[in-house]
Structure 1
Amino acid sequence: MIRDFEVTILGNTSSIPAHGRNHTSQVIRLGQNLILLDCGEGTQIQLRRFKVKTSKISHIFISHLHGDHYLGLVGLLSSYNLSRRKSPLFLFGPPGLDDIITTHFRHSHTELTYPIHFQATAPNGMNQLVDHAHFKVFSFPLRHRLPTTGFLIREKPGYRNLIKEKLQRQKVPLEAIHSLRNGVDYVGADGSFYSVREYCHPASHLRSYAYCSDTIYHPEIIDYFKRVDLLYHESTFLEADSARAEVTFHSTAKQAAEIAKLAGAKKLLLGHFSSRYGNLGPLLEEAQTVFPDSIISVEGETYPI
C-alpha cells in the first residue's frame, strides 16, 4: 500500500490564462514517487510556487498536443538540463511530441545531461503504460478535436497483514508466510494448506484516479474507470453554453457530473474552465445538481485519494 496518494492542482484553466488561473497541469504523489499530468504554459513556475520538488518527478504524461496542455514542457525539460539532472525521465504522449522536443533541442544546440525515454500513446483502447512496484498507469481514449488520451492510475496491492494470533498458535513455515504476505495461498510438499483468507486480514481498498483532460460528452468512456475513487473531468462550459461545448469538443460541468454518476465515481473534481467565467460557483452548482460529490479544483490545493 502507498502511504500517500494525492493530487495537487497546478493549473485549471482552458486555452487562455485568465482570472489568475493557469494552464492545465497536475502533480500526483504516490508515496515517494511524483508524476506529472500535462504541462501547460507556466507549469514550472507553479511547481516552484507550491514547493514541489521537481527533481522527484520521474514520469510525465501529456494528454494531447493542444498548447495549453504541453507548452510548458520544453521549458521544464530545459530547466532539468540546466540543473544537471542525471536521473532518467519517462515521457508519454501523442506521436509527434518527440519530434517537437527533438526539433527544439536540435536548433538550440542543447545536449541533455539526462536520458528521456519517450513512449507514444495510442488513442484507442485501454493501454498499460507503467507497471511500477506500487502503482500502474493506463491510457484510454477521449473524444476531442485531435488524438487525446485520459490516464488512469491504480494503486497496486502491497504485502498482506498476517493474523498474528494464528501464527502464534501454529508453526507456519517461512515459505508459507512469504506466500501469504504476497496474497497467494500456500500448498506445502507435505500437503499442508494455508489460505490467505484464513491467515491474513482483509486486503485494504486499492485506490484509483482517472484524469479526463479534454473531451466532448462521451458516456462510452466510463467503461475505462468505473467506480474510480476520484475522477477529474474537464468542465469547460456552463450548460447555457452547451452549443459551444459541442462545437469545440468540450464538456459542460453538468455533463462531467453525468459521467461521474454513470461511472459510479466516489468524487468528481472539476477543471479546465473557460476564461469567460470569472466566478466558478455556477459551474459547481450545475454539477452538484447531478452529482452532489462534485468539487471545484483549486490551484495549489491537494486532494487526497
Structure 2
Amino acid sequence: MLDVTLLGTSGTLPLPGRYLSSALIRIGGKLFLIDCGEGTQVALRAKGWGIRRIDSILLTHSHADHVLGLPGLLLTLAFSQRGAEEPLRIFGPPSVLPVLESIRVFAPRLPYPVYFIPLEVGDEVDVTDNLKLFAGPTEHDVPCLSYSLYVPRSPKFDVERANSLGVPRDLWGRLQRGESVFVGEREIQPQDVLGPPRKGLKLVFITDTRFTEDLVSFASKIQPPDLLISEGMYGDESMRPKDWDVPHMTFAEAAKVASASGARLLWLTHYSPMMADPSRYIENARRIFPNAIAAQDGTEISLSYED
C-alpha cells in the first residue's frame, strides 16, 4: 500500500488556508517528502504522520516556493532526536546543491548525516528494496525534475506447482526473489513456480513546466500512473500572463498529460494565487480527463495493488 497526501497546493506564495505545493508519501513505515517550501513543516505537523520518519526529500528545483522550508525542517528533525544512524537523503537536480550549502549556514551542526544525491533526467534509483525513483523531464526556466515513484509487485507464487516439484517451503522465498534453487540435483528456476508479471503501484509528480510530449512519455513509462499529481497553475488560458513567457500548465494541459499517459486519477495542485477557488475551473480539466479533481491541502488517498 502507498499512502499519499498533499501538504500544500499553492504555487509561488503561501495563502491563508493554502500552503505551498508539497506531497508526502508513506510506504513501509517510511515517509518521502516532495518539495519543501515555506511553512511545509507546519503542514507536516498538522497531518500527523510524523516528521522523524522522513527517509528522503525529493526536490524538483531550486525556486524559493519549493525549498525555503528546508532550514526549519532540518532543525526540527534535529530536535526530534534523530541521530547518527538515521541519515537524511535529499534528491534533486545538481543546481539544488548551492541552495543546500547555503541552508547549512542556518543549520551548521546536525546530529544526523545529510546526503545529497544529484539526479539528471533519465536517472533511476532504488530508494528502498521496494521503491524505485525515476527522474523525468520538465521545461522550466531553471533545471527542474518531475518524479515517478514505482512500487513493483512480484509475480504470484504458484504453491501447487512448487509442491508438485517437491520444493521445500524454506526455499520458496528465494524463488520469489528471482533466485534459482536446487532440489536434489535438479535446478528449479523462478519461472517454474511464478505466474506472469503483475502491475505495481505508480505515482507521478509534475510541477513547474509547460506541456510537452516528453512529459507524457515519462508519465506512462513502465505502466500508467495510478495517481498523477500535476501542477495546474492556471484554471484557463486567460490567467496566463501576457507580458512574459511563464512555463506553467493550465488545468486543460495537465488533463491532457493524464489522458495521454493513461492515468487512473489526476490531482491538480500548485495553483496561482489569483485562483481563490480552483474548483471553479475543474470542468476545464474534466472535459479532457473526467477523473480529475482540484485537490486541496490535506487531500489524501491510499493506493493498493489491483487483484
The TM-score range, normalised by the shorter chain, is: 0.7 to 0.9
* Aligned 1:18-29 pairs, distance under 5 A: 18-29=15-26
* Aligned 1:41-56 pairs, distance under 5 A: 41-56=38-53
Distance 1:96 1:183, change over 3 A: closer
- Contact 1:135–1:155 (CA under 8 A) maintained in structure 2: yes
Which amino acid is 2:260 matched to?
Answer: L
Listed one character per residue, the Cα deviations across residues 140-185 of structure 1 (whole Å, up to 9, x for unaligned) are 1211111100111000334x54333444555225686344322467
Which amino acid is 2:91 matched to?
Answer: F
Alignment correspondent of 2:132: 136
Alignment correspondent of 1:260: 258
- Contact 2:232–2:249 (CA under 8 A) maintained in structure 1: yes
Which amino acid is 1:46 matched to?
Answer: A
> 1:233 offset after TM fit, Å?
1.0
Distance 1:294 1:163, change over 3 A: same
Greater mean deviation of Cα atoms: 165-174 or 262-271: 165-174
Give the gaps of 5 or more residues in structure 2: none
Distance 1:63 1:115, change over 3 A: same
> 1:73 offset after TM fit, Å?
0.9
Alignment correspondent of 2:142: 146
Distance 1:57 1:263, change over 3 A: same
Which amino acid is 2:30 matched to?
Answer: N
* Aligned 1:52-71 pairs, distance under 5 A: 52-71=49-68
Alignment correspondent of 1:111: 109
The answer on 1:163 being equivalent to 2:150 is no
Partner of 2:241, secondary structure, is helix
> 1:232 offset after TM fit, Å?
0.9
The CA distance in 2 between the partners of 1:49 and 1:176, in whole Å, is 45
The CA distance in 1 between the partners of 2:207 and 2:150, in whole Å, is 17
Distance 1:284 1:109, change over 3 A: closer
Distance 1:43 1:195, change over 3 A: closer
> 1:16 offset after TM fit, Å?
2.0
Distance 1:266 1:186, change over 3 A: farther
The CA distance in 2 between the partners of 1:258 and 1:101, in whole Å, is 34
> 1:190 offset after TM fit, Å?
4.2
Distance 1:174 1:49, change over 3 A: closer
The answer on 1:127 being equivalent to 2:126 is no
Alignment correspondent of 2:94: 95
Identity in percent: 27
- Contact 2:59–2:92 (CA under 8 A) maintained in structure 1: yes
The answer on 1:16 being equivalent to 2:10 is no
Please point out which of 189, 212, 217 is paired with 1:223.
217
The CA distance in 1 between the partners of 2:61 and 2:38, in whole Å, is 14
The answer on 1:182 being equivalent to 2:181 is no
The CA distance in 2 between the partners of 1:195 and 1:137, in whole Å, is 26
Partner of 2:203, secondary structure, is strand
Q: TM-score, normalised by structure 2?
A: 0.87
Which amino acid is 2:146 matched to?
Answer: G
The CA distance in 2 between the partners of 1:182 and 1:94, in whole Å, is 32
**Number of residue equivalences:** 297
Give the gaps of 5 or more residues in structure 1: none
Partner of 1:20, secondary structure, is coil
The CA distance in 2 between the partners of 1:80 and 1:195, in whole Å, is 43
The CA distance in 2 between the partners of 1:269 and 1:222, in whole Å, is 16
Partner of 1:117, secondary structure, is strand
Q: TM-score, normalised by structure 1?
A: 0.88
Distance 1:109 1:182, change over 3 A: closer
Q: How large is the Cα RMSD of the aligned pairs?
A: 2.5
Partner of 2:77, secondary structure, is helix
